[in-house]
Each structure stands twice: as C-alpha cells, then as structure tokens.
Structure 1
C-alpha cells in the first residue's frame, strides 16, 4: 500500500474525528443554552402587507422588559389558537393595536384582552354568549397598519366587535412617513381629504433582501447557538427601544417622557408635519370605524395611557405639563373624543381613570422590576386595570 494512500486515510479519519468533535461541541453548547433557559428569539419577520408581522409558531422568553414566555400561534399572532369559523353562541372581539396589545412584557393570561371576557361575562354582556377575544396587535404598528390588518386578516374570523387599542405615545408618529423616517413599511398619505396607501417599500431592494434573508435563515431561528450569535451582534439593544431598561433609565428627574415617545402629542400640533400626522391619524381612525361598521360589527376606540399621564405623582405631572406649555396632558383623549362624537363611534379614554387609581393607590401601572418604575409598557397592574375599565364602559352599553 502506498504512502500516499495511508496519508489520505489518516487525513480522512482525522477530518471525520474533527467534524464529530465539532458536532459534539455544538450539540453540547446547544443543550447547555437550552438548559440555562437562554433565549433571544426573533419574533418578527418582513411582511409585504404592513412591513412586518409575527412569525407563526415561534416561542421563547422575552426578558428585556418584564419577563414572559411568549408563544406565537400558527396564524402568526400572540394569542391562543382560534379557528376561522366562529363557534355557535360566541361573541368575538378583535383587538387591533401595537406592542401594548401584543403585550410581550407579561404572561398572556395577564394581558388586558385575555382578562376582558371574564369581566364582560360578569355583567351579562353579549346576551350570555361566550365572549372570545382575538389579539391582532403587533409591535410598531400604527393605525394604518391596524387598518390593513383589519381589511386583509381579521374578517375571516367574523368578529362582532373591533376594539382599536390606540397608544398616543407614538401611534400618531407611526402614521406619518415624514415623522417616522422608517423605511420598509406601509404608510398612508392624505391628498384632497382622501387616504392613499403607499406600498412602494415592497419593491425596495433592501426590503426584498430582508425577505430573502428571513426565508433562508428560518431554519436557524430556533437554534440557541444562533440566537446567542444574534444577541452578541446586537450589542446594547436597550438603547434602541423606549421600553427597554437602559432607555427607561434615561427618563430620570422630572421628565415624564422617555426615548421613543413623543411629547408633541400632548398639545395642539405646532408645525406642519405634526398637523399632517394628526390629520392622517384622524382619517385612519375614522376609516377603521367605517370599515368595521360596513361589516356589521361594533367599533370601539380605546385610548391607552402613556406613562407620564398616569405617573402616581400629581405635582410632578403638573410641573411636566407646565414645561410643555399645557394645562392638561389629555390632548389626545380630548381630540379623539371629539372625532368619535363627529363620526358616531364609541371612545373609551383610559388615562383619566387610570390616573385617579394610580394616585389613590400610589401604584405604578407602567414599568417592571428590571426597568424603571412608571415607564415603559403596562405591567400586570396596568393590564388588569385596563381590562376592568374597558369592561365597565362596555357593560354600560351592552
């Protein structure tokens, strides 16, 4: 046997051993990360309808703000499974909104929309039919994305009510391409009093590339080693989100806003960009109401609280309002209530009532143990109170 043949066999054996050792090390690392409970899941993917949506079937821990094990159902929503066909004797409520409805900061059983059916049933709402909520909230969505979701993805479930969870802290900006400055998503514009949908992002090479990369790497997403690599590459991700610990910690002293939220919503718009953003928002909310009623369903606008409006310190809130040149922090609630009166739809403004409870009990309705109290998304107390207040209003008009 030749020397070269022996060398080839030894090289092949060594290569096989090296591959086996590498595979064993990777497997051990994967198992160790899973045993340690490590998770850095990518919950979202590019979407040609809105720009982004949740990835169906994904699950994992979210620990950047609060702590919850998040499961995305097979239809791509942060919710339990729902059949398309509405069961007999069921009253369905579709929830539209952004990260407040998505609610990844708390366990699913603690979200306002999960708690709502039981509270409504207690008052005999919907003539004793079984009440079922369906959550269509996705982080980053503005009212335009809620409208697109309603038109294209909600009606197949045949809801009897559509509840739009509107977050004043950034929904107005989210509706404006001029203010948002975020590419790769759908926007509506207003021309001659009419809404026009801009879907040019679908043909953007960067968006197309994102779609390709997302599809190619789909099989990697559940691997903890890949998640660890993404986490290392992400670096200090907290700086990029208004709801994350580092960002929330920046909101110190007597300021009741935080990175990613907009002070401009607390007063009449003072420049052309914000006037246009509010005009687009008004039209979009009215469009969601019209779309809902055209399908014979009931429309309800629920205006959620911003952290500053329900911070349990009246003196601090008053000083903050004065610094903005306003006497009240409820401009969004007042404006949208007028819109509801004009267009004939129900408006539930949560912040004024939540503020009274926060003051009386000195309770933080936003924020978590791993963030700054009073800032960020609703915590369990915020969700519970929101469910109670929404149910109270709906029970008055069953």
Structure 2
C-alpha cells in the first residue's frame, strides 16, 4: 500500500509538472512564437528579420533578400513563391533566385526577383502569402516554385487535421525537437547561420533516409492520397492564376525535383528500409507527370527541371550531402534553366517593351 501511495504521489506530481509546463510553453509561444511548436500559419517558419544568414541579413519582412523596393516602372518585377527550396540553404549570392535576377540581366532585362520563400510551406500557403503580401509588390510575373519532394505530402497532411501528439502537446514538441538535434550535423534552423560548407552533410544518413522515406509515397503507384493531394495543390495554384489573370499578371510554375528522383542509391534504400515500398511499385517521375498534365490542362506554363537535372547529375553533385536542397552547383543550374524558360516562353515580354 505504501509503495502504491508513493507511486500515485509521483504520478500526480508528474501530471501537475507536465500541465504547468504545457501552460508555460503556450504562454511563451504566444509572446515569442517559435517554429518548434505547431501552428497552421505560414509565418511559423518565417525567419527572424535581421538574422545573419551566412553573412547576409534577413530583410525586415523575414525573407532572404534585400529590402523590397517600391514599383516605379523601371524594372520587371517577379514575385517568387516557395518553401525552403526558394529560401535555400546556400548563401544569398548563390541562391538560384538571386542568380536568376543576374541571368535575366545578362539577357538584357532589368529584372527584380523578390524571394518570398518561407521554409515548411506548401501551395495553400503560397496562395495566402501572395494575397496577403505578394500582390502589394505589384509584380509583373508570379513564379511558383513547386517542390516535388514535399509540396504534395505537406498538402496531404493539411487535409488530415488529426495531428499526432507531438504536434498537439507543446511539451512533447519540445522534447522531440531536443532529441532530434543530435541527428543534425549542421543544424536545421534557418536563423543565424555563420559558415557555409558545400560538402558538409546536414543530417546523418539514417535521418535523411527517414526524411525521404516519409515523402516517398508520392512515387508509389496507386498511393491513395495522390488524387486528393494533387487536387488540393492544384486548386491553390489555379486560384493564384485566376487572381493574377485579373490583374494581367502571368503565372509560371517551376517543378523542382527531389534528390531521390535522381539518385539510384537513394531509390534502392527505400525498399530496403520500408516494407511499404518493398511491396509496392515505385514510379519516380509519377508526380511530375501528373502535376505537369494538370498544369497544362489549366493553361499554366511550367518548367519541369527534372530532365536538366537528370542529365547533369551523373557528372556533378547538385544537392548538399544528406540534405534535400540544392548545393551551389544545383542553384546555378536551376537559375540558368529558369531564365532560359522565361525568355523563350515570352513571359518577360513586358520587360522587352520597357
């Protein structure tokens, strides 16, 4: 009886401590929001203004870019929407959207590319960000950067609101975050990064396989979440197109390939690690094909970067080690391809008339 009483007292103390911790963390997050704790706003992972990102200060709006200028008719203004791929893991000067601005300049176009990438966002967030902030920049073109690696998966998650415990409990969220830190070689936080290394891995191999394995359902033939995810993602993109069309602003989409689509070793690791992929059929171009067909049917011009990256991948590394994002070479290739696409498709015609 005495032992049971002591155990009951200990459990009561633990329960009270957890409850107090939960309350304290929620109050703290309300005062000083942190990406550690879940919320549905695209601002959750917006980087702190003024943070030092490899020697470049995050602008006052929380974007990896210079201060956004006011429209004065002297330049062709491109609003670029996207997730951490648009934000990038390389220094500002090596980001493909920074390089795109320079490449268009070499083609004789005075362009400004406004990088509005926010990590961990998805197409529905791009729509909200455009309406809330992007249109105020008076763009001449809106460029939607669609990452095959997780834009469909993140959309699928948003359709299923029953969040796991680690997203509902702030205490569990904090503990989970702390336990995952040891798996990061460089750290995954986008605030205050000091020294960049193109060759340094971001995650351990085991953690990276876990990350890509969680996303790989989009390559599984017959995945029951594909249709609904594509529908929801396309609904957001089509709304972006309609809103922009009313303002005579063209929209273009860039399909960004995941490293898994290009790396046979990663492809082979999936069925070795996951029974789901061992028993199913994988088609690593499936999402590009499906999304591309939907974009074409909607009359939205798009560039699928998969062919260019598949051609270049055997000769050079295009992604940072154990990281789903491009390294410096990958960013350069993307900028070249996008600049050529925009010019060839006449999407910069308005700039030519200036």
- TM-score, normalisation: structure 2: 0.70
Contact preservation (8 Å) 1:170, 1:261: no
Q: How does 1:296-307 map to 2 (within 5 A)?
A: 296-307=248-259
Matches of 2:35 and 2:51 in 1, distance apart? Answer: 8
Provide closer, same or farther for how the CA distance between residues 47 and 154 of structure 1 changes in structure 2, counting only shifts above 3 A: farther
Which structure has the larger Rg over C-alpha atoms? 1
How big is the shift at 1:100?
A: 0.5
Provide closer, same or farther for how the CA distance between residues 147 and 268 of structure 1 changes in structure 2, counting only shifts above 3 A: farther
Matches of 2:35 and 2:57 in 1, distance apart? Answer: 9
Determine if the alignment matches structure 1 residue 150 to structure 2 residue 141. no
Q: Following superposition, which runs of at least 4 residues in structure 1 exceed 6 angstroms of deviation?
A: 42-48, 318-322
Query: Unmatched 5+ residue regions in structure 2?
Result: 1-33, 189-200, 272-276, 347-354
Provide closer, same or farther for how the CA distance between residues 86 and 352 of structure 1 changes in structure 2, counting only shifts above 3 A: same
Which residue number corresponds to residue 93 of structure 1?
78
Determine if the alignment matches structure 1 residue 263 to structure 2 residue 216. yes
Provide closer, same or farther for how the CA distance between residues 344 and 259 of structure 1 changes in structure 2, counting only shifts above 3 A: closer
Provide closer, same or farther for how the CA distance between residues 121 and 58 of structure 1 changes in structure 2, counting only shifts above 3 A: closer
The structure with higher relative contact order (CA 8 Å, sep 6+) is 2
Matches of 2:296 and 2:48 in 1, distance apart? Answer: 38
Matches of 1:158 and 1:341 in 2, distance apart? Answer: 26
Provide closer, same or farther for how the CA distance between residues 246 and 303 of structure 1 changes in structure 2, counting only shifts above 3 A: closer
Which residue number corresponds to residue 385 of structure 1?
333
How big is the shift at 1:123?
A: 2.9
Provide closer, same or farther for how the CA distance between residues 258 and 91 of structure 1 changes in structure 2, counting only shifts above 3 A: same
How many residue pairs match? The answer is 288
Which residue number corresponds to residue 150 of structure 2?
170
Query: Unmatched 5+ residue regions in structure 1?
Result: 1-41, 62-67, 184-200, 207-229
RMSD: 3.6
Matches of 1:390 and 1:301 in 2, distance apart? Answer: 10
Provide closer, same or farther for how the CA distance between residues 118 and 50 of structure 1 changes in structure 2, counting only shifts above 3 A: closer
CA offsets 1:249-299 (integer angstroms, 9 cap, x no match): 1168xx7x744751111244422x443222211212222222222221110
Q: How does 1:366-381 map to 2 (within 5 A)?
A: 366-368=319-321, 372=322, 375-381=323-329
Which residue number corresponds to residue 23 of structure 1?
none
Which residue number corresponds to residue 296 of structure 2?
341
